[in-house]
């Protein structure tokens, strides 16, 4: 699963602001929610990039912009070298085929009035040139088989399946157009523990089989570690740390990453009395009015004057091998301590 493939996705200085308005008849803009505020990264063929962060940090907005469901305020999203943010009409439609999504909640993301065959086959209605009409049913059955469902169940409705099976239907729909990139937005967080493992294994198998690139958004850091080759940590619309999974998990350099990792409960009661926890105080600030300089400084124990004045850039810093956005970045093993 190493990141050896060529670059399929290139995101540069991506910004998405939502306007905050006041007034009913005469709407005035009184501010903006800076949901994604200058994010850059690459994604290679066959690679998984995990994106972690607290709720409200902009993970899902990032996914929507990458799916071209939202237009970016500025910045570029290049798929195989072509800028999607600038594409329109037919060209945009063709690009969208290459990026598909698996949603979080398998209970609300499948239309209850459509059969499984119609749900998985719907992408072919939108992109009819992918599969000729007569061929579609067979293709859908193949997809059902690929995700480990019984192809004979093609005429069943979503309510006849369990949560894990529904998530498999969502994955099959994502695969229908043979995309190169699949964005998984919390794909297992609504599932039971014993079912989570099945779906994670399925995603890994499909990646190997079809050489897919995943963007795996989740708040469960253990799941992200398991599946990711590289990990991006987001805080208030910005990436604060980006590196290989071993770098992020074994040598986190940004205080936020360290706090995040330290908060994860380890499923092993041995030595729990000795375990040191970094407990962050308070909640993340509002993305409508982020702190000056470093956005994490209001909750950071390392914060100094410079943090309020100067925004730390995401770059490789002294003593670390991967990019982090902290003036006082320092590698520290948290999870094994």
Partner 1 sequence: MKSAKTTATDVLPAEGGLGNDALLEVDDLHVEFVTRAGLVKAVNGVSYSLRPGESLAVLGESGSGKSVTAQAIMGILDMPPARIPQGSIKFRGTDLLKLSEDARAQIRGQRIAMIFQDALSALNPVFSVGWQISEMFRVHRGMSKRDAMKKAVELMERVRIPAARQRVNDYPHQFSGGMRQRIMIAMSIALDPEVLIADEPTTALDVTVQAQIMELLAELQRESNMGLILITHDLGVVADVADKIAVMYAGRIVENAPVRDIYKNPGHPYTKGLLESIPRVDQKGQELYAIKGLPPNLLDMPSGCAFHPRCPYRQDNCVTDVPPLNEINLDRNSACHYWREVLDGSHG
Residues that bind partner 1 in the complex, under the rule CB under 8 A:
54-55, 162, 164-165, 192-198, 200-201, 204, 219, 221-223, 225-227, 245-246, 249, 259-270, 272, 277, 279-283, 335-336
CB-nearer residue toward partner 1: 136 or 299: 299
Rounded to the nearest whole angstrom, what is the least distance from the CB of residue 126 to partner 1 in the complex?
32
Residues 8, 241: Cα–Cα separation, whole Å? 21
Rounded to the nearest whole angstrom, what is the least distance from the CB of residue 138 to partner 1 in the complex?
27
Rounded to the nearest whole angstrom, what is the least distance from the CB of residue 148 to partner 1 in the complex?
11
Residues 220, 216: Cα–Cα separation, whole Å? 11
**DSSP 3-state of 13:** strand
Rounded to the nearest whole angstrom, what is the least distance from the CB of residue 135 to partner 1 in the complex?
32
CB-nearer residue toward partner 1: 193 or 318: 193
CB-nearer residue toward partner 1: 137 or 226: 226
95 in Cβ contact with 85 (< 8 Å) = no
Spatial CA neighbour of 219 closest among 253, 162, 163, 263: 263
Rounded to the nearest whole angstrom, what is the least distance from the CB of residue 219 to partner 1 in the complex?
6
CB-nearer residue toward partner 1: 176 or 212: 212
Spatial CA neighbour of 315 closest among 239, 244, 247, 213: 239
Residues 320, 296: Cα–Cα separation, whole Å? 20
CB-nearer residue toward partner 1: 98 or 189: 189
Residues 302, 293: Cα–Cα separation, whole Å? 14
237 in Cβ contact with 58 (< 8 Å) = yes
Rounded to the nearest whole angstrom, what is the least distance from the CB of residue 112 to partner 1 in the complex?
18
Q: What is the 3-state secondary structure (H, E, C) of 115-154?
A: CHHHHHHHHHHHCCCCCCHHHHHHHHHHHHHHCCCCHHHH
CB-nearer residue toward partner 1: 177 or 278: 278
């Amino acid at each position: 699963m190493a990141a050896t493939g060529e670059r399929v996705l290139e995101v540069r200085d991506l910004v998405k602001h939502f306007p905050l308005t006041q007034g009913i008849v005469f709407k005035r803009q009184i501010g903006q929610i800076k949901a994604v505020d200058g994010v850059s990264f690459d994604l290679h063929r066959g690679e998984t990039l995990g994106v972690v962060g607290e709720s409200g940090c902009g993970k899902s907005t990032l996914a929507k912009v990458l799916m071209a469901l939202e237009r970016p305020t500025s910045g570029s999203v290049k798929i195989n070298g072509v800028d999607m943010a600038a594409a329109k009409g037919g060209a945009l439609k063709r690009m969208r085929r290459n990026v598909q999504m698996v949603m979080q909640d398998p209970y609300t993301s499948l239309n209850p009035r459509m059969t499984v065959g119609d749900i998985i086959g719907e992408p072919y209605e939108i992109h009819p040139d992918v599969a000729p009409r007569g061929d579609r049913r067979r293709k859908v059955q193949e997809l059902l088989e690929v995700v480990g469902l019984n192809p004979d169940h093609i005429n069943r409705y979503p309510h006849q399946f369990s949560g894990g099976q529904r998530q498999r239907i969502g994955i099959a729909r994502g695969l229908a157009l043979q995309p190169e990139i699949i964005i998984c937005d919390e794909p297992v967080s609504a599932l039971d523990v014993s079912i989570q493992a099945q779906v994670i294994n399925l995603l890994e198998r499909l990646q190997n089989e079809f050489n897919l690139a995943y963007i795996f958004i989740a708040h469960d850091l253990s799941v992200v570690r398991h599946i990711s080759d590289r990990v991006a940590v987001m805080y208030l619309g910005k990436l604060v740390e980006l590196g290989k999974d071993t770098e992020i998990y074994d040598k986190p350099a940004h205080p936020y990453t360290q706090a995040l990792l330290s908060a994860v409960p380890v499923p092993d009661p041995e030595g729990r009395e000795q375990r040191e926890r970094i407990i962050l105080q308070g909640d993340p600030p509002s993305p409508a009015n982020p702190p000056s300089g470093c956005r994490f400084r209001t909750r950071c124990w390392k914060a100094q004057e410079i943090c309020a004045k100067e925004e730390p850039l995401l770059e490789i810093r002294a003593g670390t091998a991967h990019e982090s956005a902290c003036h006082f970045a320092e590698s520290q093993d948290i999870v094994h301590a």
